[in-house]
A and B are shown apart, each in its own frame.
Chain A
Amino acid sequence: MAAPALLTVKPRARRRLKPSLVAGLVIIGAFVLMALFPQVIAPYSPTAFDYQAVLQGPTAKHLFGTDNFGRDVFSRVVWGAQLDMQIALFTTLFPFLFGTLIGALTGYYGRWADAIFGRVVDIVVTFPFLVLVIAIVAVLGPGLKNMYIAVSAVGWITYGRLIRAEIRGQKRAEYALAGQVMGYTPARIIFRHLLPNAITPAIVYWMTDMALGILLGSSLGYLGLGAQPPTAEWGVLIADGKNFLATAWWISTFPGLAITLAGVGFSLLGDGLADLLRPRG
């Protein structure tokens, strides 16, 4: 009989991974590999000058060509992955954690905690994100560490709002009341019961935010406020090549493509995760 066999199939096993999730995983996986083992993948040192091969176009020897110092652009893009993946993580990790914490607490307790949070949100969203970050970096001084501080100081707001809204919805569910009835402490109800039910949008946004983080890091690198030359960072690489755009397009184009690809990868990942984590009945 076929029917019993069908019944024994667990719903989980029937769930197929979405193509967008797979694509995102492959792209980001590739970048992570580059970031972890650049010395294995890159054929040259990212900072070694070679005056015999200056401003050469893409060839078999130099896949992405060379820049005005004869540095191998492919190697620099690969090493750049290390820094840009780091930027993606560090510009978002603290905002994710801190924003989640604040959002959970204000969402659960409401009242005055919520009122204070609301005013802070109002203040921060009044300023354009980039302007605020640039202003903070300008005060603290350029460099990666200060960039992380600046982005974290502003970025947690979004996570806080997301989680707060979710927790406010979840806390009306009867299982939250049931938790109270069972004599659980508020901390337990918030972090063990409500948060796992509320965290999905924040995780999905986190993926998108990493793409934004890379863009931001590159922008600041390009403006000279983030990573400093000669460090191989994609934004810095683009800036390096901007004087040669007409004669040596490859210097700026390939790092630009890397940024685009990483952005698409994170977006696909976020999209796929949203599908995967969507609660079912």
Chain B
Amino acid sequence: MSEPILKLNNLCTVFHTARGRFTAVDGVNLELFPGEVLGLVGESGSGKSVTLRSILRLVRPPGRVSGEVRWRGRNLLSLSEPQMRQVRGGEISMIFQEPMTALNPVLPVGEQIAETLREHTELSGNALRQRAIELLELVGIPSPKERLRDYPHQFSGGMRQRVMIAIALASNPKLLLADEPTTALDVTIQDQILKLLLRLKDTLGMSVILVTHDLGVVAQTCERVAVMYAGRIVEVAPAAELFAQPRHAYTLGLLNSVPGAGSTRRPLIPIPGAPPDLTALPPGCSFAPRCAFATDECTAQRPPLMDISGPESPAVRLTACIHHDALSAAGEVTR
């Protein structure tokens, strides 16, 4: 396999507040390879979005990021702010959950695309305009020439997300961070946007990290999946294998709590309890208090992320579950 393009080493993001110390991202190690789509899944508050923002150093005070974000040989966490601005939007772009508010309401969209082009390319004048039209065409906006003058409120939600993608792609980034890009959209538009992202990924040769809590989206788009819980990565696996045979009790719980469309109807099995308080994480596995498989061993100390890729599965599989063997024996996904 080729060299990873992005490598997170022990990434931690901590918020010091009056109510205590929130560990939103707790020692995340992750690799991303060129041209890959990696899904980052987990419940709300599991640290997915904060991880993305930490990569681009967009965490506002009182949040502090530590560890290492190794991007094409450089540690982003040690770059100066002007150097970081070159990376943001230039090499790494990001799109957001809320297309309704992620565009500036008082500027025409053409102007907003042009602004990014001016910032990160040498284009000007007519060439710049042409490129803006091209970008809108690329993301599938009909009659792009006319729509350059339109304001964000004249676009529908799906169209706005397309405009956001066009802006994010303006400078040919090598990595696109997508923070729940389809959550605010209805299912048909969601499908269109995901297909668009996949197509653009191939034509532009980007890597994508797709943050979502929607396992359906993951199954449809991602090659590899990392599951997050309470700020930690608990399982990493190729998407197909993860769905077929989860090797972490939390992943199994997630899969059992999702209705399987089209298959035989079955009762949903929710995960009991609620995610832990980030100011007071349990000492061992943070999922242990909600876990049916939990033993004393789980609560004694924090289980590390173990490599369990065996001869039968050549791709790298990681899990932080001590009982991953018990899971594969007992835990058929009930679908």
Contacts and interface: CB of A to CB of B under 8 A. Distances in A.
Interface of A: 111, 173-175, 177-185, 192-193, 196-197, 279-281
A184 B119 contact: yes
A175 B102 CA distance: 4
Contact of A182 (B84, B97, B167): B167
A183 to B, nearest CB: 4
Contacts of A193: 104, 107
Contact of A197 (B56, B86, B104, B164): B104
A82 to B, nearest CB: 35
A177 B104 contact: no
Contact of A175 (B87, B104, B119, B168): B104
Given A111-B61, A175-B102, A280-B153, A181 B56 contact: yes
Interface of B: 56, 58, 61, 84-90, 93-94, 96-98, 101-107, 115-116, 119-120, 153, 164, 167-168
Contacts, number: 67
Given A177-B96, A178-B164, A183 B89 contact: yes
Contacts of B167: 178, 182
For A173, A180, A281, the residue with the greatest tally of chain B CB atoms inside 10 Å of its CB is A180
Contacts of A279: 105
Q: Closest 9 A-B residue pairs measured CB to CB?
A: A182-B89, A183-B89, A183-B88, A174-B102, A183-B85, A181-B94, A174-B101, A196-B106, A175-B104
Contacts of B94: 178, 181
B174 to A, nearest CB: 14
B96 A178 contact: yes
B106 A180 contact: no
A176 B329 CA distance: 49
A65 to B, nearest CB: 51
B191 to A, nearest CB: 23
Contacts of A183: 84-90, 119-120
B103 A175 contact: yes
